[in-house]
């Protein structure tokens, strides 16, 4: 296919670079090794286009390039270096020469590397893929864990006794069938069970969601959520340590209620009336619990979602490193377990795609809580949610993290962060403008946010957007 001037201009009009689209000025040249690395990274993320001769900052003017003056020769060098073909086209744009590299997606179950490094992009940088990400890619050609059999050759009566089918129909807002065959037919339609030679096979996804007792299924019994409550702010003294037993869908309300019941209470006075308030609102616990259940790496054995309750915070973690970088949790979405996520959404347990984390951040802002913290530890993803803390008691890291999350949330809402909007987020007066400016400056210095290039050239009316926008 011949790439036209119109197509180049269409790419330039994109609001931001994507995992499939990259711009580089490269006015005179572009380092070959760097070129090979970008080809590998783009291929690993689904393929795409790398444009040379275009500025990477909006409005992305054409600057022209003299790099790759022999596309056929360079295509041969790329193939020799990285082992797959990349097509190269020259576009005679009125504003200057543009070179477009058309990079194919990696094959299913395969990851490309250059000099031993399996690369992907993270913002402006090229970084090695994590162990979890590589394992997911290499497992793509293998059977889906959720679709594997948890119990085979069960009778129809076994299925009804082992799975909470009544709650299943209630969650879908469907009337319960008058005949057993209707119940089994719906479970098969949803691919939770399969017909077998000697009866029915209950699949892992069916057991995980609907089990009356997860202990009845050896393949999913270790996936039960665990709730640990500590005395104080450290792990020194454990008060309770409970592991759930019901399937995720049938036991979710009970799990949320149990966690809420374990949260510390603070006494506050509103309009001269004393009242007890939980450390965190239920909506935050609910959304982060749903995320931990849905986005865990099911292939990691002997590990399950864990909720840890402290006097001043709650930590909710799940097995596996995240598919989406933690800094893009608010605006990005990619589910590790799409079938599980789809059913949990239809059950009304979680939000539509990516809006759950948005709601958590928005709730923290409304209640002026410290910004949630999303961390990656060894083969686990951790969300840390803190209880009420006054602005003056927040440290610099808390403030900058809140600034970045506020900026991203504004971006998602098609708005821009300003000094005023961040003051409102922290609940401070106009007299704190200088302090807020210092927080924004720190976020800019750390490469988290940047000035909106379309904003007026005025410090008073400065607007900010995420650094990757």
Range of the domain at 77: 5-138
- What was the pLDDT predicted at 121? 85
Residue 207, pLDDT above cutoff 90: yes
State how far the Cα of 328 lies from the Cα of 333, in Å rounded to an integer.
8
Q: Among residues 121, 138, 155, which one ends one of the domains? A: 138
| DSSP-derived secondary structure for 230-247 | EESSSSSEEEEEEE--S-
- What was the pLDDT predicted at 80? 93
Q: Are residues 439 and 374 in the same domain?
A: no
- What was the pLDDT predicted at 354? 54
pTM of the model: 0.72
Q: Are residues 311 and 401 in the same domain?
A: no
State how far the Cα of 398 lies from the Cα of 414, in Å rounded to an integer.
24
In order of 253, 267, 283, the CA distances from 278 in angstroms are 17, 9, 12
- What was the pLDDT predicted at 352? 56
- What was the pLDDT predicted at 64? 96
Residue 349, pLDDT above cutoff 50: yes
- What was the pLDDT predicted at 275? 56
State how far the Cα of 151 lies from the Cα of 362, in Å rounded to an integer.
42
- What was the pLDDT predicted at 38? 95
Q: Are residues 345 and 263 in the same domain?
A: yes
CATH, residue 125 = 3.30.950.30
State how far the Cα of 327 lies from the Cα of 321, in Å rounded to an integer.
13
Q: Encoding tokens for residue 114?
A: 């250059």
Please provide the distance, in angstroms rounded to a whole number, between the alpha carbons at the two ends of the chain. Answer: 30
Q: Are residues 97 and 19 in the same domain?
A: yes
Total residue length of the chain: 469
Q: Are residues 364 and 461 in the same domain?
A: no
- What was the pLDDT predicted at 331? 73
* 8 Å CB contact between 353 and 338: no
Q: Are residues 374 and 401 in the same domain?
A: no
Least confident of 28-42, 128-142, 197-211, 440-454: 128-142
Count CA atoms closer than 13 A to 159's CA, side-chain side. 28
The stretch 67-80 carries a mean pLDDT of 94
Q: Among residues 138, 170, 192, which one ends one of the domains? A: 138
Confidence of residue 272 (pLDDT cuts 50, 70, 90): very low
Residue pLDDT, tens place only, 107-165: 888 899 999 899 988 777 888 988 878 887 877 766 689 999 999 999 999 999 999 99
The stretch 323-335 carries a mean pLDDT of 75
Q: Are residues 104 and 173 in the same domain?
A: no
* 8 Å CB contact between 228 and 238: yes
C-alpha radius of gyration, the chain, whole number: 26
- What was the pLDDT predicted at 302? 84
The stretch 203-224 carries a mean pLDDT of 96
CATH, residue 362 = 3.30.565.60
Q: Are residues 382 and 397 in the same domain?
A: no
The count of domains in the chain is 4
State how far the Cα of 384 lies from the Cα of 309, in Å rounded to an integer.
10
CATH, residue 458 = 1.10.10.10
Q: Are residues 373 and 460 in the same domain?
A: no
Q: Among residues 322, 353, 386, which one ends one of the domains? A: 386
Percent of the chain with pLDDT over 90: 68
Q: Are residues 253 and 345 in the same domain?
A: yes
Give 309's strand partners: 229, 314
Q: Residue 154 contacts by C-beta under 8 Å, 6 or more apart in sequence?
A: 162, 199, 200, 201, 202
Confidence of residue 85 (pLDDT cuts 50, 70, 90): very high
- What was the pLDDT predicted at 455? 75
Q: Are residues 82 and 110 in the same domain?
A: yes
Residue pLDDT, tens place only, 384-431: 999 988 999 999 999 999 999 999 999 888 889 999 999 999 999 988
Residue 274, pLDDT above cutoff 50: no
Residue 15, pLDDT above cutoff 80: no
Q: Are residues 337 and 462 in the same domain?
A: no
In order of 145, 225, 262, 331, 443, the CA distances from 360 in angstroms are 29, 20, 20, 13, 21
């Amino acid at each position: 296919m011949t790439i036209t001037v119109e197509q180049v201009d269409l790419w330039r009009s994109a609001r931001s670079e994507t995992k499939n689209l990259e711009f580089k000025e490269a006015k005179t040249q572009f380092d070959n090794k760097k070129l090979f690395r970008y080809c590998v990274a783009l291929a690993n993320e689904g393929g795409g286009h790398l444009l040379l001769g275009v500025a990477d900052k909006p409005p992305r003017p054409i600057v022209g390039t003299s790099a790759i003056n022999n596309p056929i020769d360079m295509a041969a060098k790329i193939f020799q270096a990285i082992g797959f073909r990349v097509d190269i086209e020259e576009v005679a744009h009125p504003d200057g020469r543009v070179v477009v590299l058309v990079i194919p997606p990696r094959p299913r179950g395969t990851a490309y590397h250059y000099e031993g490094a399996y690369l992907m992009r993270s913002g402006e940088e090229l970084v090695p893929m994590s162990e979890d990400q590589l394992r997911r890619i290499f497992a793509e050609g293998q059977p889906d864990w959720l679709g594997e059999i948890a119990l085979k050759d069960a009778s129809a009566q076994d299925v009804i006794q082992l799975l909470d089918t009544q709650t299943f129909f209630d969650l879908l807002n469907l009337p319960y069938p008058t005949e057993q065959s209707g119940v089994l037919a719906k479970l098969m339609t949803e691919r939770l069970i399969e017909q077998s030679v000697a009866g029915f096979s209950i699949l892992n996804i069916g057991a995980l969601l609907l089990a009356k007792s997860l202990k009845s299924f050896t393949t999913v019994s270790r996936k039960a959520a665990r709730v640990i409550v500590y005395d104080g702010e450290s792990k020194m003294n454990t008060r309770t340590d409970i592991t759930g037993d019901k399937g995720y869908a049938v036991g979710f309300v009970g799990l949320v209620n149990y966690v809420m019941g374990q949260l510390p209470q603070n006494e506050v006075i509103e309009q001269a009336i004393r009242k007890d308030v939980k450390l965190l609102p239920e909506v935050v616990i609910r959304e982060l619990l749903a995320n931990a259940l849905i986005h865990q790496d099911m292939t990691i054995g002997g590990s399950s979602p864990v909720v840890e309750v402290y006097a001043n915070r709650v930590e909710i973690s799940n097995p596996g490193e995240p598919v989406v970088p933690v800094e893009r949790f608010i605006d990005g979405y990619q589910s590790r377990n799409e079938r599980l996520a789809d059913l949990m959404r239809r059950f009304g347990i979680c939000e539509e795609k990516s809006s759950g984390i948005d709601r958590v951040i928005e709730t923290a802002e409304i209640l002026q809580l410290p910004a949630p913290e999303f961390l990656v530890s060894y083969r686990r993803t951790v969300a840390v949610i803190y209880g009420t803390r006054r602005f003056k008691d927040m440290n610099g890291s808390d403030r900058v993290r809140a600034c970045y999350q506020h900026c991203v949330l504004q971006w998602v809402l098609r708005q821009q962060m300003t000094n005023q909007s961040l003051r409102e987020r922290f609940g401070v007066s106009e007299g704190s403008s200088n302090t807020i400016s210092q927080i924004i400056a720190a976020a800019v210095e750390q490469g988290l946010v940047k000035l909106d290039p379309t904003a007026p050239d005025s410090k008073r009316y400065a607007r900010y957007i995420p650094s990757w926008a």
